[in-house]
Chain A
Amino acid sequence: MKVLVPVKRVIDYNVKIRVKPDGSGVETQNVKMSMNPFDEISIEEAVRMKEKGVAEEVIAVSMGPQQCQETLRTALAMGADRGIHVKTDDVLEPLAVAKMLKAIAEKEQPQMIIVGKQAIDDDCNQTGQMTAALLGWSQATFASVIELGEGTAKVTREIDGGLETVDIKLPAVVTSDLRLNEPRYASLPNIMKAKKKPIEEMDPASLGVDTTPRVKTLKVSEPPKRQGGVKVESVQELVSKLVNEAKVI
C-alpha cells in the first residue's frame, strides 16, 4: 500500500518566537525553519511500515513557498520515496490544506494518510480530521500505536485519563502523537541519496482548490511579561496573601 504523509515547514522549535512590530504576525524572516516535529514522527512511522514490508511507497507532501522543498528533502533523507510540492506563497488554513490533500489522495490512492496531530506554529489540530471528513474515510487521531491488519488498522489513541484502542477500516487518516515513535537521524549517505529522489511540483489551482483564507487575523501580540515573584517570611504571611491578595482561598 501507499502511505501519504504531509510535512509542514514551521519555525524551528528551538527558536524564540518574535512578534512583528506591526502586530500582523510572527517574524519568519531570517529565522531557522524545520519540519514540524509531529510530521517527522509521521514520516518515521510510514518509513517503518515500508521497512516492515507492509507499505510499498511513502509519499511526502508539503504545501507552501519554494523552501518547502528543503523540508521535503529532509523527509526523503529519512526514507520517503518521493515528494510532492504544492507551491504557493499564500497563507494556508487547515481547510485549504485538507482540500488539497483530498485532491492528491484521490489521484495517488494511498491506503493511509499519516498527519501530525498538529503543527507547532498555529497549533490548529484540524487538518487530519478535516481531510478524513472530506474524503469520507475513517479517522483515528492522536495515535501512539498503529498496528496494520488486512484492510484494517488497530490504533491506540492517547486520550484524557488513559488509552483508547480503535479498529478502523482502510483507507484511513491517522494523526500522530508524540509517543508514536522516536524519529531517526538523517545520515549523510541518505541526504545524498535524497537529492536524486523526485519531487513533483504543482499549485493549488491545478488541484482545483481556492485557498483564500476564511479567517482574518486582527492582531498578534506577545503574551504579557511575567511579573517577578515575592518571598514570604512565614506560613502566616503566605496564607494571608492567598486569602486577601490572591483571593484563592
Chain B
Amino acid sequence: MAARHPIYDADSETIREQIRRFCAREIEPHAEAWEEEGIFPRELYAKAGAAGILGLGFPEEYGGAGGGITYYCLVREELARTGFAGVRVGLMGLGIALPPILKLGSEEMKRRIAPEVLSGEKISALAISEPEGGSDVANLRTTARREGDEYIVNGEKTFISSGVRADYMTVAVRTGGPGMAGISLLVVEGDRPGISRTNLKKSGWWTSDTGHIHFDDVRVPASNLLGEENGGFKGIMNNFNLERLGIAASLIGSSRCCYEEAVRYAHERRTFGKLLAEHQVVRHKLVDMATGIQAMEGMLDNLVWRVTGGETCIAEIAMLKSFCGATHERIASEAVQIFGGAGIIRGHKVERIFRESKILSIGGGSSEVMKDLASRHLGWSA
C-alpha cells in the first residue's frame, strides 16, 4: 500500500504501526477513565520512552529516536488519532520544551536534561504565556535579574501545559530592556524555592494539567541560560514554528478520529428505516469531512517536506495552523451532528473532541494571530 506522500516510507509506516499498537495497548483501554478522573499516570512517560515514542524527531546522541520533523509530526498525528488529546498533550510537552534546549543550550545541559526527558523519567514544559499576553512575546513581563552566578526570576506564567508537574520548565524571561531585544530563555527546575503552581480547570484536556505559575525570587544558576542573554526572541519564534507543525499534525489525527467514529456510527444507526450512511445528506457530510482531512494532510506533508529541506515557511505554517484549527472545529462539529443526541453524551469520543475543539484554534497562537503573522510574511504590507 502506497504512503500518502513521498516523505513517508516503509520505515515511517512501521513506526506508525508501532505507535498504533502502543496506543491500542497502553492508552485506549484506560484513557476514558483517566480523562474523567483528571489524572495522568506518570508511568506512561516511561512506557512511551521505552517504546521509543517520546524520542521521535529528536537526535539519538541525546537519547532521542531520530527521524526528523516527519517523525515529530507522525507521532503526534497518531497519538491524536486515539481521540484523547489530553493524553497526547500531557505526554508530549517535551516536544516544545526540549527543542530550545537542544538548539541553544550548552553541551553539558543537553547531556544532562535531554536523555532523562526523552526516556520519560523527567517531565518538561514550555512556559511563555503570561496573564497579560501569550503571543505578544516581545512584551512579556516575567523578569530574570542577573546577580553574580545566578538569575533571580520574578513574575507569572499561565496556561502552561504540564506546568504543574514539570521537572524542567523552559521559561521566556526579560533580562534586558523593553521589546524583543530584552528576551531570554532560561531553564528553571520545578523544585526551586519560590515557585508556586496551580492547576487550572478547563473545559477539556482533563488528563493534561495546565498550570498557572508564580515565580517569587526564584534563584537559577546563570548556566541555565539558553543561548545568548537577550537573544531568546528568535529561538522562541523558531520553536513556535515547530510547535505549529506538530499542532497541525495533531489536528489531522483528531479529525481522522472524528471521521472514523462518524463513519462507524453512520453504518450502525438506523433512522427512517435505513442506515444513516444511506441518507445522502449524511454521506455528503462524511465526504466533506474526508475532503477537509485530505486538504490538511496535503498542506502538512508539503510543509514538512519543505521545512526538512531547510525552508522556514513562517507564513505557510501560520496559514496551515489556522486552517487546520478551523477545519478540525468543523469536522468535530459535523461528527457530533451525525451522532445526534448520542454526540452530546459523555463517553463518546466525538463529544469530548467537539468540547475540546476550540483549544487548538487558540493555543499555540490563535487563528487571528496566525493570519496576522501570515499577512506580514506574504510579501505585501498594509
Which listed residue, B1, B22, B52, touches A189 by the CB 8 Å rule? B52
Once the chains bind, are A185 and B52 in contact (CB under 8 Å)?
A: yes
**B21 and A191 contact, CB distance less than 8 A:** no
Asked if A186 lies at the interface with its beta carbon under 8 angstroms from chain B, I say yes
Kindly provide the distance from the CB of B79 to the nearest chain A CB, expressed in whole angstroms: 14
18 additional contacts (CB under 8 A) given A185-B51, A190-B52? A32-B1, A34-B17, A70-B10, A182-B25, A185-B21, A185-B22, A185-B52, A186-B14, A187-B51, A187-B55, A188-B15, A188-B52, A188-B56, A189-B60, A189-B65, A189-B66, A191-B14, A192-B11
Interface flag for A30 (CB, 8 Å): yes
| Partner among B1, B10, B66 whose Cβ is within 8 Å of the Cβ of A30 | B1
Closest B residue, CB atoms, query A34: B17
Chain A residues in 8 Å Cβ range of B21: 185
Check A184 for interface membership: any CB of B closer than 8 A: yes
Instruction: Identify the interface centre among B14, B15, B21, B71: most chain A CB within 10 Å of its CB.
Output: B14
A62 lies within 8 A of chain B by Cβ: no
What are 25 sample pairs from A and B whose C-beta atoms fall under 8 A apart?
A32-B1, A70-B10, A74-B14, A77-B14, A184-B50, A184-B51, A185-B18, A185-B53, A187-B51, A187-B52, A187-B55, A188-B15, A188-B52, A188-B56, A188-B65, A188-B66, A188-B67, A188-B71, A189-B52, A189-B65, A189-B66, A191-B11, A191-B14, A191-B15, A192-B66
Tally of chain A residues near chain B (CB < 8 A): 16
Query: Which residues from 157 to 191 on chain A have a C-beta closer than 8 Å to any C-beta of chain B?
Result: 182, 184-191
Within A47-105, the residues touching B (CB, 8 Å) are: 70, 74, 77
List which B147-171 residues lie within 8 A (CB) of chain A. none
Given A30-B1, A32-B1, CB of A187 within 8 Å of CB of B65: yes
Q: A49 CB to closest chain B CB, in angstroms?
A: 19
Specify which of A184, A186, A188 lies most central, judged by the most chain B CB atoms within 10 Å of its CB.
Answer: A188
In this complex, the interface size class of chain B, counting residues with CB under 8 Å from chain A, is: 20 to 34
Q: Which of B15-65 contact A (CB under 8 A)?
A: 15, 17-18, 21-22, 25, 50-53, 55-56, 60, 65
Kindly list chain B residues whose C-beta atoms are within 8 Å of the C-beta of A182. 25
Kindly list chain A residues whose C-beta atoms are within 8 Å of the C-beta of B67. 188
Who on chain A is nearest to B75 by CB?
A: A188
> Secondary structure of the B side of the interface?
helix
Distance (whole angstroms) from the CB of B127 to the closest CB of chain A: 29
CA A67 – CA B75 in complex, angstroms?
26
- Closest-by-CB residue of B relative to A32 is B1
The 6 A-B pairs of least Cβ separation, nearest first, read A187-B52, A185-B51, A188-B65, A185-B18, A188-B67, A187-B65
Centre residue among A34, A184, A187 by max chain B CB count within 10 A = A187
Say which residue of B1, B18, B56 sits within 8 Å of A186 (CB atoms): B18
CA distance in complex: A186, B15 (Å):
8
- Name the A residues within 8 Å of B10 (CB-CB): 70
Cβ–Cβ < 8 Å partners of A77 in chain B: 14
Point out the residues of chain A lying under 8 angstroms from B53, CB to CB.
Answer: 185
CA distance A187 to B21 in the complex (A): 12
A19 to nearest B CB, angstroms? 21
Give the chain B neighbours of A190 by CB distance below 8 A: 52
Chain B residues within 8 Å of A34, by CB: 17
Q: Nearest Cβ distance between residue A65 and chain B, in whole angstroms?
A: 17
Complex CA gap A16/B375 in Å reads: 49
Chain A residues with Cβ under 8 A from B66's Cβ? 188-189, 192
CA distance A182 to B25 in the complex (A): 10
- For A31, the closest partner residue in chain B by CB is B1
Smallest Cβ-Cβ distance to A30: which chain B residue: B1
- For B65, the closest partner residue in chain A by CB is A188
- Which residues in B have their C-beta under 8 angstroms from that of A189? 52, 60, 65-66
With both beta carbons as reference points, the residue of chain B lying nearest to A186 in the complex is identified as B18
Proximity string of chain A (9-44) to chain B, C-beta cutoff 8 Å, 1 when within and 0 when not: 000000000000000000000101010000000000
In whole angstroms, how far apart are the Cα atoms of A34 and B11 in the complex?
14
* Bitwise interface map of A from 180 to 215 toward B, beta carbon under 8 Å scored 1, else 0: 001011111111100000000000000000000000
Quick one: closest B residue to A183, CB to CB?
B21
> What is the CA–CA distance of A188 and B1 in the complex, to the nearest angstrom?
20
For B60, the chain A residues whose CB sits under 8 A away are: 189
- Chain B residues contacting A187 (CB-CB under 8 Å) are 18, 51-52, 55, 65
> Which chain B positions have C-beta within 8 A of A70?
10
Nearest CB to that of A74 among chain B residues?
B14
A74: chain B residues within 8 A (beta carbon) = 14
Report the minimal beta-carbon distance from A185 to chain B, rounded to whole angstroms: 4
Chain B CB within 10 Å, residue with most, of A32, A184, A189: A189
A73 to chain B, nearest CB (A): 8
